[in-house]
């Protein structure tokens, strides 16, 4: 477990500029809205909350899809994988690091949203559910992107991940609505977009359970695929 934590912490450190920019953006935005003389509208704040939650899902896709590629391109991966760690541990480090970054972002978003919603007297009771749902959708989207990134360029991995998540959604529209439960990133995302601060989040809890299980499955698939691949480095 220690190597995974070391790699996760290293990954977080590598992403620190991105995290600092997001944190400052949230802090400045919240401060500006909280301190302005005009009271913000509930609809505007609600939109802001949903936007943060959706951003996390998109960031999850991009962060994990580029991690292996960046380490391979810079050749830093060689010294890491020359140590007594399994490739699965290396991937777990990346996945844990990106999850920690995104959950930190969602936590900050939750704090900022809670401050602002309280200011307009809106309920914050379902806010935690929105952020949790977004966090779980992030876990799944990141795992799918990680799986594809073990064999593809990051841009293609993002495209493949988006396509993979779109297929059940398309089937749900064209064939059977219950297809939404397969890879339910779109379903969770739609529920977050449709969220009303005065009502509970309209999302069955089994969707979240399915997303967690599928995230684990995609992570295992990523590990198996990555173990069987040559590190694509030019030779002398």
Partner 1 sequence: MQPALEFDHVGKSYKNFFGRSEAVALRDFSLQVNPGEIFGFLGPNGAGKTTALHIAMGFVRASSGGGTILGKPFGDAATRRRIGFLPENVALYNIPAERSIRFYGALNGVRDPELRDRTRKLLGEMGLEGVRSRKVGKFSRGMLQRVGLAQALVNDPELLVLDEPTSALDPIARVEIRELLLRAKAAGKTIFLSSHLLSEIENICDRIAFLIKGQIARLGTVAELLEASGKVEIVARGLQSQVLAPVRVEVLPSSNGVVRIRTEKARSREMLEAIWQQGGEVVSMNPARASLEEIFLQLANASERKQEGA
Instruction: Give me the residues that bind partner 1 (CB under 8 A), please.
Output: 2-3, 6-7, 10, 13-14, 74-76, 78-86, 89, 228, 230-231, 233, 235-236
Least distance in angstroms from the C-beta of 15 to partner 1: 12
Q: Which is nearer to partner 1, 38 or 236 (CB)?
A: 236
DSSP letter for each residue of 211-228: HHHHHHHHHHHHHHHHHT
Question: What is the token pair recorded at 203?
Answer: 């999302």
CB of 36 to partner 1, least distance (A): 40
Which residue's CB is nearer to partner 1, number 14 or number 54? 14
Complex with partner 1: residue 18 or 25, whichever CB lies closer: 18
By the 10 Å C-beta count (0-12 exposed, 13-18 middle, 19+ buried), 191 is classed as buried
Q: How far is the CB of 6 from partner 1 (least distance, A)?
A: 6
Report the distance separating Cα 119 and Cα 145, nearest Å: 38
* DSSP character string of 64-75: HHHHHHHHHHTT
- C-beta of 194 vs 228, nearer to partner 1: 228
Q: At its nearest, how many Å lie between partner 1 and the CB of residue 103?
A: 23
Q: Could you give the CA distance from residue 72 to residue 29 in angstroms, rounded to a whole number?
A: 36
């Amino acid at each position: 477990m220690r190597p995974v934590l070391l790699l996760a912490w290293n990954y977080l450190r590598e992403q620190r500029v991105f995290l600092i920019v997001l944190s400052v953006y949230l802090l400045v935005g919240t401060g500006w809205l909280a301190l302005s003389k005009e009271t913000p509208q509930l609809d505007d704040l609600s939109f802001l909350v949903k936007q943060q939650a959706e951003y996390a899902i998109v960031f999850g896709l991009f962060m994990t899809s580029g991690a292996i590629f960046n380490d391979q391109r810079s050749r830093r991966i060689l010294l890491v994988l020359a140590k007594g760690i399994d490739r699965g541990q290396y991937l777990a480090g990346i996945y844990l690091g990106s999850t920690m970054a995104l959950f930190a972002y969602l936590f900050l978003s939750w704090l900022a949203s809670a401050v602002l919603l309280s200011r307009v007297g809106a309920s914050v009771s379902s806010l935690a559910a929105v952020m949790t749902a977004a966090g779980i959708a992030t876990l799944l989207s990141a795992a799918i992107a990680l799986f594809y990134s073990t064999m593809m360029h990051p841009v293609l991995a993002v495209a493949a991940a988006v396509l993979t998540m779109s297929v059940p959604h398309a089937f749900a529209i064209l064939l059977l609505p219950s297809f939404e439960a397969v890879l339910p990133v779109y379903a969770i995302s739609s529920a977050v977009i449709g969220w009303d601060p005065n009502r509970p989040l309209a999302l069955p809890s089994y969707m979240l359970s399915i997303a967690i299980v599928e995230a684990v499955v995609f992570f295992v698939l990523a590990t198996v695929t990555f173990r069987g691949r040559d590190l694509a480095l030019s030779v002398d």
